[in-house]
Amino acid sequence: MITDARAVRPGFIPRDLHHRDAQITHLSSVLTHGFFGETACVFGPSGAGKTTISKYVLSDLEREWLGMRWGYVNGMSDNSAAAALHRAVRELGLGADLRRRGEPTSVAVDRIRECDDHLAIVLDEVSVIDERALLALNDLPDISLVCITIDGDDWYESLSEQAESRMRSAETVRLEAYSQSELVDILESRVSHGLLADRVSGAALSRMAAIADGDARRAIALLRRAAQAVEQTDDEDELTIDTVERVVDDAETDIRERRIRSLGTHQRLLFSIIDERDGESVSSETLHTEYEKRAADPKARSTRRRYLKSLRRYNLIEASGNGRGRVYRPQS
């Protein structure tokens, strides 16, 4: 069934991206305007391809331009200013030693400033990243930033006046959720790259697309799980609608576990306090009190609220109520 497992892995960047030509062209033109040094903001719902098209465009530019480097920072795992800047430097190949030796963030910034190559950094889940890292990178000449988040307006409102002014002036690339037919095209492309196409039912792909409801990440997770199920079952040689229905829960579990693994230390602690109550809700005050007991170096409440909002966007927790009456529980 599986001929190339890379085609159904979450981080796979296909050679051809379907239904995103206009956004790819727009992002590429922004990043190359004035020979690098521009900032682009990429907004859209989960699974709309924000990260994929950003990596796709930068990989293309890396092939076309001599002396071009780019790196990727996931704000869910590297969200403090120090963590984000050190990750950026390591991703750019400018300092694998920085984190181990504990240099201050100014050293990371200097490494970037002193590099003569054309540089670009993807800041994924940028709304969780300490804006000091964002401003430090934005102040550097000849470095392009690609800032990715779901809700641009919500992110702008969370920024200081200085940071908001700079980010609102950046070019914006907006993506909408995929239609069902578009998701089918994406799945067919993955099948052609990595599965035995004659053993995959077209009706099964349509069912995956319907379940995924516009989210390519969910659709691909379903394809991966369904292909594995056929591969591991002796008496099943075709991927059908029945196969898809059997693996829906497993695919959702895969997405959830992958998101949990990506969490930074403090987000993981907040999530653990909520999750360990077996579905029972925890009040905001209890959550913050317990967090402060367990955290070695507790973050400010404003930062924690930003982390909790990111956990909600990731569909790991849900919240109800306001102020002192707010309660949290694991996403059902």
Out of 24-28, 63-67, 125-129, 192-196, least confident range: 63-67
Rounded CA-CA distance 33/174 in Å is: 19
Q: Helix axis angle, 216-232 relative to 180-194, nearest 10°?
A: 40
pLDDT band at 17 (very low <50, low <70, confident <90, very high): confident
- Domains in the chain (CATH in brackets) are 21-174 (3.40.50.300), 179-259 (1.10.8), 263-330 (1.10.10.10)
With CA atoms as reference, report the closest residue to 216 among 240, 242, 253, 190: 190
**Per-residue pLDDT tens over the stretch 201-220:** 999 999 999 999 999 999 99
Rounded CA-CA distance 181/165 in Å is: 39
Query: Across the strands, what pairs with 72?
Result: 122
Mean of the pLDDT values across residues 150-158?
Answer: 94
Residue 29 has pLDDT above 70, yes or no: yes
Rounded CA-CA distance 14/18 in Å is: 9
Residue 34 has pLDDT above 70, yes or no: no
Rounded CA-CA distance 313/234 in Å is: 39
The pLDDT, as a whole number, for residue 100 is 54
Q: Which residue has the tokens 């990731």?
A: 314
Query: Across the strands, what pairs with 122?
Result: 72, 146
Pairing of strands 327-330, 171-174: unpaired
Q: Collapsing DSSP states into helix, strand and coil, what is residue 122? A: strand
148 within 8 A of 172, measured Cβ to Cβ: no
**Per-residue pLDDT tens over the stretch 83-111:** 999 999 999 999 877 665 567 888 889 99
> At 277, phi and psi to the nearest 5?
-95, 15
The pLDDT, as a whole number, for residue 35 is 57
Structure tokens that stand for 74 in this block: 């996931």
Mean of the pLDDT values across residues 267-294?
Answer: 94
Pairing of strands 282-283, 327-330: antiparallel
Amino acid identity, position 21: D
pLDDT band at 179 (very low <50, low <70, confident <90, very high): very high
The pLDDT, as a whole number, for residue 324 is 79
274 within 8 A of 329, measured Cβ to Cβ: yes
Mean of the pLDDT values across residues 293-311?
Answer: 93
Whole-Å CA distances, 141 to 114, 118, 214, 273, 275: 10, 10, 38, 42, 43
Q: Collapsing DSSP states into helix, strand and coil, what is residue 279? A: coil
The pLDDT, as a whole number, for residue 10 is 85
